[in-house]
Structure 1
Amino acid sequence: MIITSVDRSAHSRAAADWAAREALLRGLPLRVVHVSPPDGTGPDGQRPDRPGNTAAERVAADQPANTVAERVAAQVTDRHPALRVQCVSLTGDPVAALCAVAAEAELLVVGLRGEGSRAEVPVGSTAVALTRACERPLVLVPGGRPPGRADAVTVGIDARDPASAAVGLAFEAARSRGVRLHAVHAWTLPAQATERPFPALEEDRATWEDDEVQRLSDALRPWRGKYPEVDVLADVVLLTPEVALAHAAGNSGLVVAGRRSGRTALALLPDAGCPVMVVPA
């Protein structure tokens, strides 16, 4: 099952639509979940009818909370009549409730910002907290942008210690979509290079880079064998992981990142042009 968290925001509708298409692709049912905080604020801690919201959000805020999931589920069913759709309305802490309902799900899908987020905040507090806390794969979907042509799935991989769950999901996503997998390994110069009073020699840098290329090739070898039909572009770049992934994601329909600390995913999210999947290590 795939679960999507919904509220009255445009980001939520974008997330629900992405989740519906992913559920159809995987042949899974979709569960639409709306969580109302007990104090009446929005999921990100603000009242959804506050003056800073758009007119559409203020109108939507007048709708009873217990109809939100039903309304979104009906819209999804109209667009995707072959999809099996359920809806659930809950009350409680949004992060705790979503982590609980997602415990047995394949994916939890949410928007980058909820109905209570300020427009100048690129990633809402609920999305940030889920990125750090959710123990199931989490997909964060940017709102307000129609899906464009996606030529690849991009995955960030630490060739020295690859997160097998993230790599496996990335290969599976590329296979199911029939697109190339762009595997990005970010590396830094070794300590002896940064401690020198003069720049590293080009031949030393080339040797270090060759070593990183070999590490990435070794890390990908078993996955290439398991998914021979997936075309893989192996990319070794001398950048921080978040910058490397942001550069690589331009033509991607999905970016997959393993989560150890959550730092890379959170740094990538504000500029994400496509959904980002965060996979617990």
Structure 2
Amino acid sequence: MERVIIAGVDRSARSRAAADWAAREALLRGLPLRVVHVSPPDGPDPVHPWPGRPEAVADHVVAELTERHRVLAARGSHLDGAAVPALRAAGEHAELLVLGLRGEGGHAGVAVGSTASALATECGRPVVLVPGTYPGPWRPGRIEGVVLGIDAHDPAVGPVEFAFEAARLHGVRLRAVHCWTLPARAARSPFPVLEEDRAEWEDEEVQVLSDALRPWRGKYPDVDVLEDVRLLPPAQALTHASGNAELVVAGQGATALALLEHARCPVAVVPA
């Protein structure tokens, strides 16, 4: 099985920004890049052909990328069919599947396209979704490198390992965000929560997070880890963190889908 990064593209500037992110990641990991364009099953692409025939879209993007990244090993592929199953099958054995949050067919008021949403939910491999406004290169000026959303009571191996490896590859700090809620009895109580009770519960969550990360700290001793415990809904906490991050890593599920609606940096959605 060939290790490869796949970028799914259409004719939009958003998808080309995602392809550029994928190209930089491929160079960092020493992997080839495969650029894939899928034509719909009901005939040719709609009006406004770019750069001409649908079969040429992927090759056009490859030409742009190799002009910008001279040592990049990349090739283009054109597939016919529905985008979601075609890209899911193409990425079945890929290191990463990368695409924009919204493609050329999306509506202006929709933050996340149907293809991105479906692949984030269904794909068996990590999917990185790149906002259209993201500038491309990792920016050392950002406070956070990689942000990991983790349920410390039941940590999923896939997202945790992906986040630690990403932080190691890029030489940046990993911020592990664990969110918690007040005990049911406190949430139902008509009286305010006592500060000493809240502090005690939070200390317990801090310990749970520390215990969950301990084996990963041992496996990745060179990764600087910041443990962050928040009394917030997970999607809200990760959305806030994305404003100062280069990459947010989350597991598949409702939190990831809610995060994608407001993410301000690329989001890696990783199966457990």
Superposed CA offset, 1:105-140 (max 9, x none):
010001011111111111111111111111110000
- Structure 2 residue aligned with 1:164: 157
Equivalent position of 1:27 in the other structure = 30
Matching residue's letter, 2:257: L
Is 1:269 paired with 2:272? no
SS at match of 2:228: strand
The answer to whether 1:214 aligns with 2:207 is yes
Aligned to 1:110: 99
**Is 1:229 the equivalent of 2:232?**
no
Instruction: Check conservation: 1:41, 1:116, Cα contact below 8 A.
Output: no
Q: 1:240 aligns with which of 225, 233, 236?
A: 233
SS in 2 for 1:162: coil
Equivalent residue, structure 2, for 1:37: 40
AA of the residue aligned to 1:3:
I
Question: How does the TM-score come out when normalised to structure 2?
Answer: 0.94
Shift of 1:11: 1.0
Q: How does 1:38-187 map to 2 (within 5 A)?
A: 38-40=41-43, 47=46, 49=47, 58=48, 60=50, 63-147=52-136, 149=139, 150=142, 151-187=144-180
Measured in 2, the distance between the counterparts of 1:240 and 1:202 equals: 20
Structure 1 CA distance, aligned partners of 2:41 and 2:169?
40
CA distance in 1, matches of 2:100, 2:201: 40
Residue 207 of structure 1: CA displacement? 0.8
Deviation at 1:145, TM superposition (A): 3.2
Deviation at 1:27, TM superposition (A): 0.6
Aligned partners of 1:174 and 1:180 also within 8 Å: yes
Of 16, 19, 22, 1:16 maps to: 19
Is residue 258 of structure 1 aligned with residue 258 of structure 2?
no
Counterpart secondary structure, 2:246: strand
Sequence identity (%) = 65
Instruction: Return the offset for 1:38.
Output: 1.2
Deviation string 1:58-110 (CA, Å, 9 cap, x unpaired) is 362x7210000110111111111211112110000110011101011010001
Checking the alignment, whether the CA contact within 8 Å between 1:108 and 1:138 is kept in structure 2 is yes
CA distance in 2, matches of 1:205, 1:144: 39
Q: CA deviation at 1:279?
A: 0.4
Tell me, yes or no, if the aligned pair for 1:138 and 1:278 is still in contact at 8 Å. Answer: yes
Answer yes or no: is 1:4 the counterpart of 2:7: yes
User: Structure 1 residue 41: deviation in Å?
Assistant: 7.0
Hey, what's the Cα distance between the residues in 1 that align with 2:66 and 2:44?
Answer: 28
Q: Distance in 1 between matches of 2:223 and 2:206?
A: 19
Q: Which moved more, 1:158-167 or 1:78-87?
A: 78-87
Q: Determine if the alignment matches structure 1 residue 280 to structure 2 residue 266.
A: no
Residue 195 (1) aligns with residue 188 (2): yes
Task: Return the letter of the residue paired with 1:134.
Answer: C
Contact 2:44 2:54 in 1 (8 A): no
Moved more, 78-87 or 175-184: 78-87
What root-mean-square deviation, in Å, do the aligned CA atoms of Structure 1 and Structure 2 show?
A: 1.4
Give me the whole-angstrom Cα distance separating, in 2, the residues matched to 1:201 and 1:265: 32
Check conservation: 2:146, 2:172, Cα contact below 8 A.
Answer: yes
Give the structure-1-normalised TM-score: 0.91
SS of residue paired to 2:258: helix
Q: How far 1:199 sits from its partner (Å)? A: 1.9
Instruction: Give the counterpart letter for 1:80 in structure 2.
Output: H
CA gap of 1:238–1:136, structure 2 versus 1, over 3 A, is: same
> What are the ranges of 5 or more consecutive residues in structure 1 without an aligned counterpart?
50-57
